[in-house]
């Protein structure tokens, strides 16, 4: 066993465990890709998702008095529990398209009926893809072993590791 | 007088095109969203977003559409009522509505839409259409001697805001089993550009409106990616793609602009080999140009773009590069055609119509043709026509339909809706 290790080059010895780790967790990579595609459909990607209940929460300074007044008033009447409030916002919030799609239950349609799901173009005929460096945009030779993103040179790799690696993995 | 008013509403995910049927151009084209600038608490609607004085830096956006389908009916009806009352000046209860909806709209969304139209706005009657058939209608009437109108058949390629549809149209009806969809459109491209710029120079993740403008002004489709990447690698003035965009500073200008529009247009004159045309007059300018530092001035808020300009629209042709497991646009077209009857294949390839805002990238049609040609059998001709105005094409078709004499007969009236309900009425539209 020890003989085997010694026969490998230093590079192989260094890289091999990393490769094993990467292959074991292909999950990371698919997760990263999916998260990236999801991010492309997001309307306000810069902001951390804030719940749209700003009508009562972020009052400006001049409205402070009003709010205090309201709070006093609401103490007298019935108070909403946190649960009830959460339920209410969940009801108010529009449902995403994917939820609606799930509810429509299109899978149950017979196969000859065209539907949203069947209209998708499907995977490309050739699996080849061009790889662009995620740092500088030029064609990339190398893949990050952890997250699967591409980079073209050691310089870009350093930038990638410092800033972006595993960014899209929760 | 107002008894015959038909409101034509092309309700897109990105832009609403609204106007009165029978006219050539829509009255308004406004973004279908609301946004709240950082400085205020109020959400701005539709046309208020287009005003020159409004500072939309880091505005929080809300859209009624998600992935191309209407999900937030409340927001949509707020935007509509604003459009009807203060932009179109129509009274819904005495007018008809021609509405476009995305292909394969879900029944639950259709029901909710009918509810807004008849119960909230009280429209007299409603006609719902999909966009490819309207595009076909408009093109067929515009070119009466073309294949499109002789064969009554065309292939509409709609590269929209949320997704891309390739839809065969036959006898004014969209052939729904032939429709193919790619989940990639203008919104994803803008967000992709945002991501690239934010990563490489300045954080613009919040600036949707700004980056939309950058995309529209600076992005183009490369006809030879390998060559263009080589050019983009060059330094200084030899890099024909490098150009600078100046961000708004909030004081002297509230909208961003391209620093040197002539420099930004240089790529259009590139020859096959990737050289700029040599002109005698140019040599006099050269020393001056060289002395000008071509670096980004960090004191001013600006960023420069080079390979991003063509790598962003590139994704429509090869979504696989982005990790998306979908075929590119050319292959999408081939699959859509192949799912139709073989007799239609030659006619479809000969009458491809490009529409939708994302086809406005320069060189789009040229690139598509060079990608499509090798995939199509030699005996068929490939002919790609770009619409005169790809954004308004659908609306103009709708306007044409609304002014046709049989339009009233095709509509579902409010009385019928109340009698039969949403789903029965929908059958009339053959969806």
Which residues of chain B lie closer than 8 angstroms to A163, CB-CB? 199
Shortest distance between the Cα of A16 and any Cα of chain B, in A, equals 26
Q: What is the tally of helices (H) and strands (E) in chain A?
A: 8, 2
B114 and B429 Cβ atoms separated by less than 8 Å: no
Residue of B188, B190, B185 lying closest to B218 (CA atoms): B190
Buried b (16+ CB within 10 A) or exposed e, B101-139: bbbbbbeebbebbbebbbeebebbbbbbbbbbbbbbbbb
Name the closest residue on chain B to residue A99, using Cα atoms.
B71
Q: Which residues of A touch B208 (CB under 8 A)?
A: 43-44
Query: Cβ separation of A121 and B332 shorter than 8 Å?
Result: yes
Instruction: Name chain A contacts of B104, Cβ cutoff 8 Å.
Output: 114-116, 119
Alpha helix positions (H), A41-153: 64-76, 82-92, 97-104, 116-119
pLDDT tens, residue by residue, B19-40:
998 888 899 899 888 888 877 7
How many whole angstroms separate alpha carbon B425 and alpha carbon B418? 10
Chain A contacts of B200, Cβ < 8 Å? Answer: 135-136
By DSSP bridging, strand B34-36 and strand B60-62 are: antiparallel
A-chain residues near B321 (CB < 8 A): 129-132
Greater pLDDT, B271 or A35: A35
Residue B421 gets the label, from left (phi > 0), alpha (psi -120 to 50) or beta, of left
Question: Which pLDDT score, from 0 to 100, does residue B284 have?
Answer: 41
Residue whose C-alpha is closest to residue A135's, from A121, A154, A120: A154
Interatomic CA distance for residues A30 and B87, integer angstroms: 47
Computed from CA positions of residues B228, B229, B231, B236, in that sequence, does the dihedral angle turn out positive or negative?
A: positive
Question: Does the structure show a pLDDT above 80 at A24?
Answer: no
Q: How confident is the model at residue A12 (pLDDT cuts 50, 70, 90)?
A: low
Regions in chain B scoring below 50 on pLDDT: 1-2, 280-293
Q: pLDDT digit string (tens) for A122-134?
A: 888 877 788 888 8
**Separation in Å, CA of B77 to nearest CA in chain A:** 13
- The 3-state DSSP class for residue A100 equals helix
**At residue A152, what are phi and psi to the nearest 5 degrees?**
-110, -20
Report yes or no: A93 at the B interface, CB cutoff 8 Å. Answer: no
Q: Rounded to an integer, what distance in angstroms lies between the CA atom of residue B264 and that of residue B219?
A: 10
Region A102-109: mean pLDDT is 82
What is the per-residue pLDDT across B306-338, written as a single tens digit (0 to 9) for each?
Answer: 888 999 999 999 888 888 888 999 999 999 999
At B378 the pLDDT is 92
Comparing alpha-carbon positions, the chain A residue that sits nearest to B64 is A94
- Residue A64: is its pLDDT beyond 90? no
Mutate to test the interface with B, among A34, A119, A153 (most CBs of B within 10 A): A119
CA-CA distance, B165 to B340, in Å (whole number)? 15
Instruction: Classify residue B95 by burial, with Cβ atoms within 10 Å: 0-12, 13-18, 19+.
Output: buried
Q: Mutate which of A47, A50, A121, A147 to test chain B, going by most B C-beta atoms within 10 A?
A: A121
- 103-122 in chain A: CB under 8 A from chain B: 103-104, 112, 114-116, 119-122
| Chain B hits for A109, Cβ within 8 Å | none
Residues 9-48, chain A: which have Cβ within 8 Å of B? 33, 36-37, 39-47
ipTM of this complex > 0.95?
A: no
Distance CA B308, CA B299 (A): 23
Nearest CA in chain A to B179: A119
pLDDT at A17: 66
Structure tokens at B107: 């029944």
pLDDT of residue B155: 93
With contacts defined as CB-CB under 8 Å, which chain A residues touch B323? 33, 36-37
Query: What is residue B289's predicted lDDT score, i.e. its pLDDT?
Result: 41
Residue of B nearest to A49 (CA): B60
- Burial of residue A62 (number of CB atoms within 10 Å: 0-12, 13-18, 19+): exposed
Residues of chain A with Cβ-Cβ distance to B63 below 8 Å are 43
d(CA B368, CA B221): 10
What does the longest C-alpha to C-alpha distance in chain A come to? 81
Asked if the Cβ–Cβ distance from A137 to B308 is below 8 Å, we say yes
């Amino acid at each position: 066993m020890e003989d085997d290790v010694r026969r490998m080059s230093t590079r192989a010895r260094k890289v091999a465990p990393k490769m094993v780790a990467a292959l074991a967790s292909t999950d990371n990579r698919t997760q990263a890709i999916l998260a990236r595609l999801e991010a492309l459909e997001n309307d306000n990607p810069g902001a951390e998702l804030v719940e749209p209940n700003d009508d009562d929460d972020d009052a400006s300074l001049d409205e402070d008095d009003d709010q205090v007044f309201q709070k006093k008033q609401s103490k007298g009447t019935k108070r909403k529990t946190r649960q009830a409030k959460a339920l209410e916002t969940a009801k108010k919030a529009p449902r995403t398209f994917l939820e609606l799609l799930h509810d429509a239950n299109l899978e149950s349609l017979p196969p000859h009926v065209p539907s949203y799901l069947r209209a998708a173009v499907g995977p490309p005929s050739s699996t080849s893809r061009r790889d662009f460096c995620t740092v500088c945009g030029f064609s990339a030779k190398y893949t990050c072993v952890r997250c699967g993103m591409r980079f073209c040179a050691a310089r870009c790799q350093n930038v990638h590791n410092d800033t972006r690696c595993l960014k899209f993995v929760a | 007088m107002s008894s015959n008013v038909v409101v034509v509403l092309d309700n897109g995910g990105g832009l609403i095109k609204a106007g009165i049927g029978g006219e050539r151009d829509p009255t308004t084209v406004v973004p279908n969203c609301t946004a709240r600038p950082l400085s205020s608490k109020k959400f701005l609607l539709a046309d208020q977003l287009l005003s020159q004085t409004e500072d939309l830096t880091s505005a929080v956006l809300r859209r009624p559409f998600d992935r191309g389908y209407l999900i937030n009916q409340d927001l949509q009806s707020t935007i509509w009522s604003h459009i009807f009352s203060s932009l179109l000046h129509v009274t819904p209860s005495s007018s008809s509505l021609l509405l476009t909806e995305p292909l394969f709209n879900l029944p639950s969304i259709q029901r909710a839409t009918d509810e807004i139209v008849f119960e909230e706005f009280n429209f007299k009657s409603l006609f719902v259409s999909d966009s490819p058939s309207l595009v076909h209608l408009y093109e067929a009437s515009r070119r009466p001697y073309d294949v499109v109108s002789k064969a009554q058949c065309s292939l509409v390629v709609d590269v929209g805001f949320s997704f891309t549809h390739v839809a065969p149209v036959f006898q004014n009806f969209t052939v729904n089993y032939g429709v193919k969809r790619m989940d990639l459109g203008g919104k994803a491209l803008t967000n992709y550009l945002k991501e690239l710029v934010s990563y490489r120079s300045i954080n613009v993740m919040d600036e949707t409106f700004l980056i939309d403008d950058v995309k529209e002004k600076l992005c183009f489709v490369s006809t030879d990616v390998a060559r263009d990447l080589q050019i983009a690698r060059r330094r200084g003035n030899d890099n024909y793609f490098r150009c600078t965009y100046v961000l708004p500073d909030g004081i002297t200008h509230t909208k961003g602009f391209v620093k040197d529009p002539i420099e930004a247009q240089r790529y259009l004159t590139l020859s096959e080999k990737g050289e700029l045309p040599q002109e005698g007059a140019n040599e006099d300018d050269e020393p001056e140009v060289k002395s000008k530092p071509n670096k980004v001035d960090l004191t001013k808020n600006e960023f420069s773009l080079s390979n991003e300009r063509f790598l962003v629209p590139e994704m429509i042709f090869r979504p696989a590069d982005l990790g998306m497991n979908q075929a590119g646009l050319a292959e999408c077209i081939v699959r859509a055609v192949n799912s139709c009857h073989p007799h239609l294949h030659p006619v479809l390839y000969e009458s491809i119509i490009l529409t939708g805002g994302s086809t406005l990238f320069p060189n789009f049609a040229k690139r598509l043709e060079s990608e499509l040609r090798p995939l199509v059998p030699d005996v068929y001709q490939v002919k790609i026509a770009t619409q005169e105005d790809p954004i308004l094409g659908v609306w103009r078709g709708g306007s044409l339909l609304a002014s046709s004499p049989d339009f009233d007969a095709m509509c579902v009236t409010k009385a019928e809706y109340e009698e039969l309900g949403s789903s029965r009425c929908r059958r009339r539209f053959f969806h």
